[in-house]
Amino acid sequence: MIGNLWNDLRYGVRMLSKSPIFTTVAVVTLTLGIGANTVIFSLVNALLFRPLPAVHEPDQLTYLSGSHSYPDYEYFRDHNEVFSGLLAQGGTTSLNLNTGVEPELVVGELVTANFFSVLGVPPAMGRAFLPEEDRQPGAHPVAVLSYGLWQRRFGSDGDIVGKTVQLNGLSFTIVGVMPQGFAFPTNEELWTPLYTEYPPRPRGQAAVGNPALVGLLRREVSLDQASAEFATFAKHLAEAYPATNKQFNAAQVEPLIVTFTPTPLRGTLWTMLAFCVGVLLIACVNVMNMQFARATLRGKELAIRSSLGARLAPAITRGRTKPGEAYA
């Protein structure tokens, strides 16, 4: 077996060395086609298909498009039948962290109390937020640190849980530290309860802020089913509270990983990938045509060799030649 492969390899190398121009053109053509596809696919994979960082069931996480208030979130959370959990995020913000030494700006995120449980990631130290810590503004100023911030700013202090820090001039108690590598969705360093920033308002009054909603879709539920249910919810709220919800009469449920990349960029990436695949196909066809052209030019020579009894491929001889026989 190995001997046969070696004979085939020697024959291929010999034939390529006899036609350096053809070999160079074929190699360059395929290299350009394969290289372009590799670069573009790596980019598409990184931006559209990369896994979410350190979360449980990342393929089931979805995003509810549209602009929804905190009361909308509570209504969706308590009435839906398509999610096993629904969380809200207030968006990243810069927080002035003061630990008694030189202050610094860190990237913080305002989240609901069920944020870590929906994502399925418990803290490495301490605990996550309690439900009552996300119900009354200012009553429970608590924070959870990222692993990186805990290492960098607090020197991996094993007794960090229970200590207080200053965030934007207010005292917060550290209740937990997340595992290494967790940062959702990007580079957050610290989390605080969302209620502090987005307290509910009576229906009919303008809502404060529009948190992003992320749901953990049940395995037996499709995206279309989830979208239909939330479109119904949004329509109901628009009819019941036209002053605040009239313009929010639809909600599309999308895979969360797709929403990380802006829609215009997604289209551009798919177009570039399709173009590069076309270039690779053209390159392969060109090399195949060159092979056919070579075979046509050598047709007369090969016919003469065949009539004289020569075997035309090393794969046929399998390393065994007879007197008067030769490779093509």
* AA letter at 155: G
Taking the whole predicted model, whether its pTM rises above 0.95 is answered as no
Q: Which residue intervals of 194-298 are DSSP H helices?
A: 223-240, 242-245, 256-259, 263-297
pLDDT at 273: 77
| Cα torsion through 317, 318, 321, 327, rounded to 10 | 50
Whether 256 has a pLDDT exceeding 50, the answer reads yes
Structure tokens at 210: 């529009």
Closest CA to 65 of 256, 193, 247: 256
Across-strand partners of 125? 177
Q: Which helix (H) or strand (E) holds 205?
A: none
Judged by average pLDDT, the poorest of 181-185, 220-224, 270-274, 306-310 is: 306-310
How would residue 206 be classed by pLDDT, with cut points 50, 70 and 90? very low
For the chain, give the percent of residues with pLDDT over 90: 30
Closest CA to 126 of 88, 173, 166: 173
Closest CA to 217 of 268, 259, 256: 256
Q: What average pLDDT does range 216-238 have in this prediction?
A: 90
Judged by average pLDDT, the poorest of 94-103, 109-118, 158-167 is: 94-103
Q: Whole-number mean pLDDT of the chain?
A: 79
Residue 175, CB half-sphere, CA atoms under 13 Å: how many? 16
pLDDT at 280: 83
Q: Is pLDDT larger for residue 240 or for residue 87?
A: 87
Q: What average pLDDT does range 201-222 have in this prediction?
A: 74
Whether 264 has a pLDDT exceeding 60, the answer reads no
Structure tokens at 300: 């007369």
DSSP notation for 149-181: HHHHHHTT-TT-TT-EEEETTEEEEEEEEPPTT
Calpha distance 160→150 (Å, rounded) = 8
- Residue 55: what are its φ and ψ, rounded to 5°? -125, 160
Whether 321 has a pLDDT exceeding 50, the answer reads no
Q: Is pLDDT larger for residue 9 or for residue 116?
A: 116
∠ CA 242-248-250, rounded to 5°: 125
pLDDT at 84: 94
Structure tokens at 195: 């209620």
Calpha distance 146→182 (Å, rounded) = 7
How would residue 134 be classed by pLDDT, with cut points 50, 70 and 90? confident
Closest CA to 208 of 110, 287, 290, 130: 110
Residue pLDDT, tens place only, 22-77: 788 888 888 888 888 888 777 766 656 665 556 788 888 898 887 778 888 888 99
Whether 138 has a pLDDT exceeding 80, the answer reads no
